[in-house]
Structure 1
Amino acid sequence: MSAPSVTPIPITTISELKQHHSQLVRLGLASRPEHVRRLLAFLARDPAGVPYAARLLAHHPDPHPALFNPLFASLPPHHAAAFLALMLSLPLHPDHFTLPRLLPAAPLPLAAQLHALLLKLNFHSHAHSFNALLAAYLANGRADLASRLFGSCSSPGDLDVVSWTTMVGGLCRLGLVDDARKLFDGMPERNLISWNAMISGYVKAGRFLDALEVFDQMRALGIEGNGFVAASAVVACTGAGVLARGREVHRWVEQSGITMDEKLATAVVDMYCKCGSVEEAWHVFKVLPTKGLTSWNCMIGGLAVHGRCKDAIELFHEMEREDVAPDDVTLVNVLTACAHTGMVSDGHNYFNYIVQRYGIEPKMEHYGCMVDLFGRAGLLDEAKKVIDDMPMEPDIGVLGALFGACKIHRDLDLGEAIGWRVIELDPQNSGRYVLLANLLASAGQWVDVAKVRRLMDERNVSKEAGRSVIEIDGEVCEFQCGSLCHAQEKEIFAAVKDMMRKIRLEGYMPDTSDVLHDITEEEKEVPLQYHSEKLAIAFGLLRTRPGDTVRITKNLRVCRDCHEATKFISRVFEREIVVRDRNRFHHFKDGTCSCRDYW
């Protein structure tokens, strides 16, 4: 006679599960592992089912670790610890798969207790348990304990590639990238996860050129990459602003046969946008077989920061025609496009339209965009009204947008009031002090400028040095304001003087309004010559020919003088100069800028 059976039925509530369980009991099937596992899998999804799951396991006639183990990965740590206590009380010893499922989410006290249990059960040398313990200590920010555990092995050969990679990745996540690199260089064996852990670790730390150096090392060894490594390398190119390297990585992806999924394709689009070639970004975007919301947002945002407002708005409408609903990121990008081209009424209309049509609740960044929209146009009263009418207290970003607008439009009274408020909200940001000092200096209030300087000294806040990066023929060079450390130092300084002399002959006049010191105009002009972008452009002129494009990435906002000078340089030396600053892109060509001096 065959054993009774029960047809599985869909279970949606605990009440239905109890009915199903009672049916299994009546049929004598309640103890069968396949039925118990199904019941437990459902109960683990809902915290309300945890007590029932505990009773089910406590009364099981033949408990086994295989019944408990699936629960540990899905339960919150405190529930998982309670089930482990139940397991030990039965008494039932964990197996090799129990503790590795408990450890990843374990807080430090629980991880330490599980470490002791591993030693007691003699699972300490088991690879899965050992690696899970490493990961738990690193996840809790205890690199010291993880390193001590890692170093407890008698020889590196006792560690597998997962152990090494866990340490490298964990140290990178904790910002200890130099320590991670030492371990990475000493690895007896590496896999793709290892390479990506080191590359992405450098990327997250903002050390983009180091990330590309590791990527080059991987390629030199003939190791085939995957989508994760490719995405990390593309993001490194984006961060460094190195277009030629970005193109090279893009070609490598295509030649390697790596699948260009939406995530990777979006990273490539973003790279081209942020490295100054919005046309190449558009080409990649256009041929995407499927475009998700992230892809649309990336391309619209790219067009916006390049000052191509009409193209950004048209793409937004195309997205609507494709029935892709915008989100809060889309709204930021559309408002940014309008703000960068002075389309005030359009920006205001789009804000109302997108919010009402798509039910998007405006967030802090959206109000910041509206303040920026009005502020750039000199409508400071309207910008202030946006802040006054906000349903939340303005943050540093919103107030900073109004502060910047006051500096641009020389509103001393409002600017000074907002400036001191911004400094108190963001006391370690040197840019806030410099902006206020510039505003005060433009009004000749040198006593107040000195007060700002003293406050910086008292708070040990140093002015962030201007830095500009230029990529020429695959070589990446960084220049810092006022100083130069380069093999062609003499030639570059000579080129700067020649460059400035020639554009003066064409009508350029230095703008010294942002120079803080109360000195003569002639003295003020000297430091302007050696701003980092001027040094980088001079180097670019030495290494390029008329008709070439020179691309500069700057860490700060371009100053008025450098903006004006670069317009003259582009015409006199017949170069297209693309400058990516903290806020946007400027395309200088034939004596004009793509921003039309609205920035």
Structure 2
Amino acid sequence: MNSSVIYIPNSTNSIPTHPSSLFPQVSKCKSIRHLTQLHASFIKTGQIHDPLAAAEILRFSSLSDYREIDYAYKVFRRMHRPNCFSWNTIIRAFAENGEDEKAIMGILLFCEMLDHGFVRPNMFTFPSVLKACAETGRVEEGKQVHGMVVKFGLDGDEFVISNLMRMYAVCGVMEDTNSLFCKNIVEDVSRVIDGKKEESNIVLWNVMVDGYVRQGSFNQARKLFDEMPQRSVVSWNVMISGYAQNGNFKEAIDMFYEMQMGELPPNYVTLVSVLPAISRLGALEVGKWVHLYAEKNGIEIDDVLGSALIDMYSKCGSIEKAIQVFGRIPRKNVITWSAMIGGLALHGRAIEALDCFQRMNQAGIKPSDVVYIGVLSACSHAGLVQEGRELFNHMINVVGLEPRIEHYGCMVDLLGRAGFLKEAEEFIMNMPVKPDDVIWKALLGACKMHQNVEMGKRVAKKLMGMTPHDSGSYVGLSNLYASLGNWEAVAGVRLKMREMDIRKDPGCSWIELDGAIHEFVVEDEFHPQAKEIHSMLEEISEKLRLLDYRPNTTQVLLNMDEEDKESALHYHSEKIAVAFGLISTSPGTPLRIVKNLRVCEDCHASMKLISKIYKRRIVVRDRKRFHHFKNGLCSCNDYW
């Protein structure tokens, strides 16, 4: 008999019932405080000695929305000979807690259950134990549990087997996962029901696909996905989230499109999974469709989906829409506030970001370390040095948060941009944690910006020692020499890069039109409309010349004559993307460009004039922030 189902003695019809139906007052509790009051009442009246009453108190404190695992554990320890339902409840509570220490406790409780010998584990016990093994990466213990599964004759139960496979997959033991998969799929297919072969267990297929995705083996995952006899929404979600989380953003969106062509509609998890990919590619029109789909299909835009939408709109250049979504979320948590503050920071709206931070504090929500990254970044983009110093000290001395490497990086970036190079270097030297390459690169970039060669050489040397094959330090030092016209030094750095086979990341920009992503690289000639794009670039150059604009050839970090330098600037990837946008959209349509590197000074100055000449709003997201060009001005006020 299933231990979670109880039969009422002397019942004439022997209808099984559940403890919650015998003690409905427990389920009606609205907080753990209400539960403790009811618990006290049960103790006072003696009802707590009824094992069903104690089991229901345990269930609520372990697994409800108001769970409190320490309280549940105390309840469990006071139970006399708990039955299998109670053991399963407390093991599951610890296994699903999300903390390694708690999950290990779940495994230990399972061992204790076996040692007591009063209760035999059942099909509901093993999945929780296996989950705990998976969460903590304890594959050896998982193998021992596997042996117990066989011993108790549950190796034919699909629910147990799927969790066993998931444990092996999460722990990276795909050979054992595949062995179980093949064995059970063959057995499953061979079953015959009413003269027909039963469909293979879709859960096992999903676990197998997920295992390959976790390993980054996307070719194998996709091959298996394509072979599936049938797919569930989970099947699609595994592939979409896997692609998105591993940087395959275009593949994630393509998979999302493919899903829409089938019979299974996207669900809440699908939308949350695909939005980060949309954000990274700046695919605003796709993001708008996702938002509209959620609203039309009654999918609740809660704090999680709402935060993902805020992040998407922010990173796709539509900060006003992000603010609208934020305003409509009824229950805001620290993640929601963090998304909004980070979005405002990305767009250089520092005062609004700081105001948002203030309102969050007034709402009684304690800021997280991620929130502080957002406000410090906002200060950096706007040159608010004193405000940044005060926030950093407030985080440590008032809120009591320990700075992460990202916070130190924000401070170095803040000080470096503002020209406080000596203070930035001293800040790095006095950090209690070892600075990473990102921090040193921030200082190297500031050295180029403020043309401090001596410090730049020291910083570059440190970087080359830390990451000898990373192009960033070499390119940074080369750019610093080039900005000062020291071509001999540039040649020396470039020669060393060639000797070490170190290649610079090529500039790349992309623009979304009608849901399609168009990608361009420097001097791109492979687009189907390359001829028309080239003509538009010539037109842009001519109109810029009529305004007496001269290309800023100091941004060409190669030793060549002025004419060649002007030509090189002419074909930067973001300019090609803008030219394509101008010929492909109607007058007045805003253009949104995403670039993988920082926008150069010449392109920045050009974009301001192009926005004025063509009466277009041009939004460019570079590696660091957004630039909103309109009527000859930029939102960054030329501080970036």
- Normalised to the residue count of structure 1, the TM-score between the two structures is 0.84
Corresponding residue for residue 544 of structure 1: 585
CA RMSD of aligned residues (A): 3.6
Q: Distance in 2 between matches of 1:596 and 1:281?
A: 22
CA deviation after TM superposition for structure 1 residue 388, in Å: 3.5
Q: Residue 105 of structure 1: SS of its match in structure 2?
A: helix
Shift of 1:267: 1.2
CA-to-aligned-CA distance 1:120-177 (integer Å, 9 cap, x gap): 6554332122212211111111223323332333265563121122122232222223
Given the alignment, which residue of 69, 80, 94 partners 2:107? 80
Cα contact 1:272–1:281 (8 A) shared by 2: yes
Decide whether the 8 Å contact of 2:506 with 2:522 is kept in 1. Answer: yes
In structure 1, the residue matched to 2:529 is 488
Q: 1:423 aligns with which of 464, 471, 475?
A: 464
Tell me how many residue pairs correspond in the alignment.
568
Range with greater deviation from structure 2 (548-557 or 150-159) = 150-159
Structure 1 85/253 Cα, relative in aligned 2: closer, same or farther at 3 Å? closer
Where does residue 167 of structure 2 map in the other structure? 136
- What SS does the aligned partner of 2:549 have? coil
| Offset at residue 36 of structure 1 (A) | 9.8
| 2:612 matched residue in structure 1 | 571
Is 1:595 paired with 2:622?
Answer: no
Q: Which amino acid aligns with 1:477?
A: H
- 8 Å contact from structure 2 (residues 58, 89) kept in 1: no
Which deviates further from its counterpart, 549-558 or 371-380?
Answer: 371-380
* Structure 1 position 542, deviation (Å): 0.7
Does residue 228 of structure 1 match 2:269?
yes
Q: Which moved more, 1:69-78 or 1:396-405?
A: 69-78
Q: Residue 554 of structure 2: SS of its match in structure 1? A: coil
Q: 1:208 aligns with which of 249, 271, 277?
A: 249
Query: How big is the shift at 1:589?
Result: 1.5
Deviations 1:240-290 (A, max 9, x none): 211111111111111011111111111111111111011111111122223
Could you tell me how far apart the structure 1 residues matched to 2:91 and 2:335 are? Answer: 34
- Name the stretch that deviates more: 549-558 or 79-88: 79-88
Aligned-residue offset at 1:480? 1.8
In structure 1, C-alpha distance between the alignment counterparts of 2:445 and 2:267, rounded to whole Å = 43
Cα drift, residue 583 of structure 1: 0.3
Evaluate the alpha carbon distance shift between residue 476 and residue 122 of structure 1 in structure 2; reply closer, same or farther with a 3 A threshold.
same
Contact preservation (8 Å) 1:438, 1:515: no
Q: Shift of residue 581 of structure 1?
A: 0.7
The CA deviation string for residues 430-469 of structure 1, in whole angstroms up to 9 with x for no partner, is 2332111111222344444344334434544321122111
Deviations 1:353-403 (A, max 9, x none): 555443444443333222222211222122223224433333323222211
* Paired residues of 2:84 and 2:121 also in contact (CA < 8 A): yes
Aligned to 1:401: 442
In 2, Cα distance between the equivalents of 1:351 and 1:203?
Answer: 32
Distance, in Å, in 2 between the alignment partners of 1:35 and 1:311 is 52
Conservation of the 8 A alpha-carbon contact between 1:65 and 1:93: yes
**Residue of structure 2 equivalent to 1:251:** 292
- CA drift of 1:311 comes to 2.0
Partners of 2:226 and 2:565 in 1: CA distance: 49
| Shift in Å, 1:594 | 1.2
1:104 partner SS: helix
Tell me the secondary structure at the aligned position of residue 470 of structure 1.
Answer: strand
Q: Is the 8 A contact 1:41 1:71 kept in 2?
A: no
Q: Cα distance, 1:419 vs. partner?
A: 1.4
Equivalent residue number for residue 11 of structure 1: none
Which residue of structure 1 aligns with residue 230 of structure 2?
189
How far 1:80 sits from its partner (Å)?
3.3
Among 528, 545, 567, the residue aligned to 2:569: 528
| Distance in 2 (alpha carbons) for counterparts of 1:144 and 1:461 | 37
| Maintained 8 Å contact 1:553/1:581 | yes
Alignment of 1:23-422 (within 5 A): 69=88, 73=92, 74=94, 80=107, 84=111, 87=114, 95-106=122-133, 107-119=138-150, 122-152=153-183, 153-154=185-186, 159-353=200-394, 355-422=396-463
- Greater shift in the superposed pair: 521-530 or 150-159: 150-159
Question: Deviation digits for residues 218-253 of structure 1, max 9, x if unmatched?
Answer: 333353443222212322221221111111111111
Which residue of structure 1 aligns with residue 553 of structure 2? 512
Find the aligned partners of 2:366 and 2:103 in 1 and give their Cα distance.
35
Letter in 2 for 1:193: V
**What amino acid sits opposite 1:253 in the alignment?**
A
- Mapped to 2, the partners of 1:436 and 1:302 lie a distance apart of 31
> 2:11 maps to which residue?
none
- Provide the rounded CA distance (Å) in 2 between the counterparts of 1:367 and 1:428: 24
2:405, 2:435 within 8 Å by CA — same for their partners in 1?
yes
Structure 2 vs 1, CA of residues 67 and 256 (structure 1 numbering), >3 Å: closer, same or farther? closer
Whether the aligned pair in 2 keeps the contact of 1:30 and 1:36 (CA below 8 Å) is no
Alpha carbons of 1:145 and 1:515: their partners in 2 closer, same or farther (altered >3 Å)?
farther
Question: Is the 2:200–2:229 Cα contact (8 Å) retained in structure 1?
Answer: no
3-state DSSP of counterpart to 1:103: helix
Consecutive unaligned residues in structure 2, runs of 5 or more: 1-42, 63-67, 95-101, 190-197
* 1:545 CA drift (Å): 3.1
Corresponding residue to 1:466 among 497, 503, 507: 507
- The alpha-carbon deviation at position 592 of structure 1 amounts to 1.8
Q: What whole-Å deviation, never above 9, does each CA across 1:539-567 have from its counterpart, x for those lacking one? A: 10111233221000111111222212222
Higher deviation after alignment, 344-353 or 265-274: 344-353
SS in structure 2 at match of 1:478 = strand
* 1:307–1:340 CA contact under 8 A, matched in 2: yes
Asked whether the 8 Å contact 1:177–1:205 carries over to 2, the reply is no
Paired residue for 2:13?
none
Report the residue type matching 1:103 in the other structure.
Answer: L
Q: 1:426 to 1:98 in 2, by over 3 A?
A: same
User: For residues 179 and 612 of structure 2, what CA distance do their matches in structure 1 show?
Assistant: 62
- Does the Cα contact within 8 Å between 1:224 and 1:256 map onto a contact in 2? no
Deviation at 1:117, TM superposition (A): 5.0
